[in-house]
Structure 1
Amino acid sequence: MAEALSHDQIKARLAELAGWSTDGRRIERTYSIPHIQGAAFIVHIAAIQNDLGHHSDATLGYKTVHISISSSDLGGYVAEHDIELARRIQAVAPTHGAEY
């Protein structure tokens, strides 16, 4: 079973992921992206989630995609696999025209 990261551990890992933030219980990011490209981005995120066997909350807005990641098996705290999901999402965001 995964272990929850401390707030300091989360912040250290997010230092390499521009635009991501934490409240200690989840990591979040909002991308600025046109609506249709945002829909394609959401589908790509879903594929990444299936590959990792770990899922996040993703919300498609008119010109935004908001991602919120935590581990439900840890009571909503952040683990290393949450950081890995954020890294993978961050890596594909530019291919969809998402802006930082």
Structure 2
Amino acid sequence: MSTQPQPLSQKEIEDRLRELPGWSVDGDRLGRGYRLADHFAATAFVVHIAQIQQDLNHHSEVTLGYNTVALSVHTHSAGGTVTEKDFELAERVQAVAADHGAS
């Protein structure tokens, strides 16, 4: 039986953000923007993010620009708050960002 994700406390969020350079919480969402070499590189990064989201069954809002990608996520089943699931997604995205030349 799976349990519903629980909102993280402000301290837990601050502690986790120290481990994720460039990520921040704005209101009730965890997010980050990346810059890439060009549109093709940004698009390839979005496809990789989509695969991670599929694997985790947890999906963020992703915005694709010419050479930028922005992510914003929270957990709907926890009342639209930031949970461990959001940080798991962020960590997985962060782990592949450099492979795409994202900064």
Do the structures match in fold with TM over 0.5?
A: yes
Identity %: 53
Q: In structure 2, which of residues 26, 29, 41 is the aligned counterpart of residue 26 of structure 1?
A: 29
- Higher-Rg member (1/2): 2
Judge conservation of contact 1:10–1:24 (CA < 8 Å) in 2. Answer: no
Q: In structure 1, which of residues 68, 74, 84 is the aligned counterpart of residue 72 of structure 2?
A: 68
Counterpart CA distance in 1 for 2:33 and 2:9 is 23
Alignment of 1:17 with 2:57, yes or no, is no
Partner of 1:98: 102
1:60-80, CA deviations, whole angstroms, 9 ceiling, x for partnerless residues?
011210000100112211110
- 1:71-82 correspondence runs (5 A): 71-82=75-86
Counterpart CA distance in 2 for 1:51 and 1:10 is 23
Aligned pairs, number: 99
- Give, in angstroms, the shift of residue 49 of structure 1: 0.6
Partner of 1:5: 8
- Give, in angstroms, the shift of residue 24 of structure 1: 4.6
Structure 1, unpaired ranges of 5+:
none
Counterpart CA distance in 2 for 1:10 and 1:24 is 12
Structure 2, unpaired ranges of 5+:
none
What's the RMSD between the two structures over aligned residues?
A: 1.0
Counterpart CA distance in 1 for 2:27 and 2:65 is 25
Opposite residue 23 of structure 1, the aligned amino acid is: D
Counterpart CA distance in 2 for 1:31 and 1:16 is 17
Partner of 1:40: 44
- Give, in angstroms, the shift of residue 17 of structure 1: 0.5
TM-score (norm: length of structure 2)? 0.91
